[in-house]
Every structure is written in structure tokens, then in C-alpha cells.
């Protein structure tokens, strides 16, 4: 009899165990079904996103090509700007040289009329007479001083005004 009761208890325990295993397996099946649905939705979303990512990459590539094309078109403009900068540098150097030479001329002492007369007398002493009786000036230096002195005395104020204006404009441009 104990054997019979033991076998009956084992049978009942086995039935209870099978019932709990069936419930657990059904819960696992439902979880797996939900996981499968979620994975299908994720796959669908990934497919949609991959299409959009491909479109973005294509647009980025076309933008890159466009930018490269425009940069190539800008290269001659940038070269021109560089050339303009070189020219402006040369103009600046020339303006510096002109202004320094004008300042050097202005710093030289002015020739007074008495000194000019003395220079003229000295130059007349250095002259000889040609066959036709016209005097020849052997001292070109004295001639040039007398000639340029007469010209500079008339044009110095005008030149100084223009130089002052040009230097003022240049200083404003550089600032």
C-alpha cells in the first residue's frame, strides 16, 4: 500500500509539475511572440532609416561636389586678389620712395636770391664762347641747380599739398 500511495503522490506531483511547466512555456511563448513583433518593427524602421541615410549621403556628396566646383571657380578670384595685394605693395613702396625723396628735397636749405645770383655769376665765369658768339655752359651742375631751383620754387607748394593729401589718404586707408 505504501507503494501505491507513493506512486499516486508521484503521479500527482508530476501532473502539478506539468501544469506549471505548461503555464511557463505559454508565458515564454507570448514573450517570444512580442519579441518577434518588436524585432519586425525594428527591422522595418531600420529599412526606412537606411533609405533616408542613403538619401542624406547622396545629398552630402552632391553638396561636396558643388562646393569643390565653386572653390575651383574662386581660385582665379583669389589669385587676382593676391596680385592686387602685390601691386598695392609695390605702389606703397613707390609712394614711400617718392615721399622720402620729397621730404629730402624739402629739408635742403632754400636757395636765397643772393645765393642764386652768386651761383649765376660763378656759372657765367665757367662759360666759353662758341664760334658764333653764343656762350656755352661748361658747368651743367650749376645750370641744373639754377633751372630746377626756378622750377621748384614755383611748383613746391602745389606738390607739397598733393603729397600731404596723398599721405593722409594713404594713412586713412591703412588704418
Range of the domain at 154: 110-122+138-175
Which pLDDT does position 27 carry in this prediction?
95
Q: Tell whether the model's pLDDT for residue 136 goes beyond 50.
A: no
Which pLDDT does position 26 carry in this prediction?
96
Q: What confidence tens digit (pLDDT) does each residue in 95-133 have? A: 888 888 888 777 765 555 666 666 666 655 544 444 455
Which pLDDT does position 38 carry in this prediction?
95
How many of the other CB atoms lie within 10 Å of CB of 127? Answer: 15
Residue 170 lies inside a defined structural domain of this protein: yes
Residue 6 lies inside a defined structural domain of this protein: no
Task: Count how many domains the chain has.
Answer: 2
Q: Based on the domain organization, do 117 and 171 belong to the same domain?
A: yes
Q: Based on the domain organization, do 165 and 114 belong to the same domain?
A: yes
Q: Based on the domain organization, do 66 and 117 belong to the same domain?
A: no
C-alpha 161/C-alpha 157 separation (Å) is 6
Strands in 9-162 per DSSP E: 127-129, 135-137
Residue 147 lies inside a defined structural domain of this protein: yes
Q: What is the pTM (predicted TM-score) of this model?
A: 0.36
**Which residue in 86, 97, 85 sits closest to 163, CA to CA?**
97
* Residue-averaged pLDDT of the chain: 78
Residue 82 lies inside a defined structural domain of this protein: no
Residue 44 lies inside a defined structural domain of this protein: yes
Residue 52 lies inside a defined structural domain of this protein: yes
Which pLDDT does position 110 carry in this prediction?
55
Inter-residue contact 136 to 130 (CB < 8 Å): yes
Residue 116 lies inside a defined structural domain of this protein: yes
Portion of the chain with pLDDT greater than 90, in percent: 36
Residue 174 lies inside a defined structural domain of this protein: yes
C-alpha 142/C-alpha 124 separation (Å) is 10
Which pLDDT does position 84 carry in this prediction?
87
Amino acid at each position: 500500500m505504501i507503494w501505491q500511495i507513493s506512486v499516486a503522490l508521484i503521479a500527482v506531483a508530476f501532473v502539478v509539475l506539468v501544469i506549471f511547466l505548461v503555464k511557463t512555456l505559454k508565458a515564454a511563448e507570448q514573450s517570444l511572440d512580442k519579441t518577434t513583433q518588436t524585432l519586425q518593427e525594428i527591422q522595418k524602421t531600420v529599412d526606412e532609416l537606411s533609405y533616408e541615410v542613403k538619401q542624406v549621403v547622396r545629398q552630402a556628396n552632391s553638396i561636396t561636389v558643388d562646393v569643390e566646383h565653386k572653390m575651383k571657380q574662386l581660385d582665379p578670384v583669389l589669385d587676382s586678389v593676391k596680385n592686387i595685394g602685390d601691386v598695392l605693395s609695390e605702389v606703397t613702396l613707390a609712394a614711400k620712395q617718392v615721399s622720402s625723396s620729397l621730404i629730402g628735397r624739402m629739408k635742403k636749405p632754400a636757395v636765397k636770391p643772393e645765393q642764386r645770383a652768386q651761383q649765376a655769376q660763378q656759372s657765367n665765369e665757367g662759360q666759353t664762347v662758341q664760334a658764333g658768339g653764343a656762350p656755352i655752359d661748361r658747368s651743367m651742375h650749376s645750370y641744373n641747380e639754377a633751372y630746377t631751383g626756378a622750377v621748384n620754387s614755383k611748383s613746391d607748394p602745389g606738390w607739397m599739398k598733393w603729397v600731404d593729401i596723398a599721405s593722409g589718404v594713404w594713412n586713412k586707408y591703412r588704418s
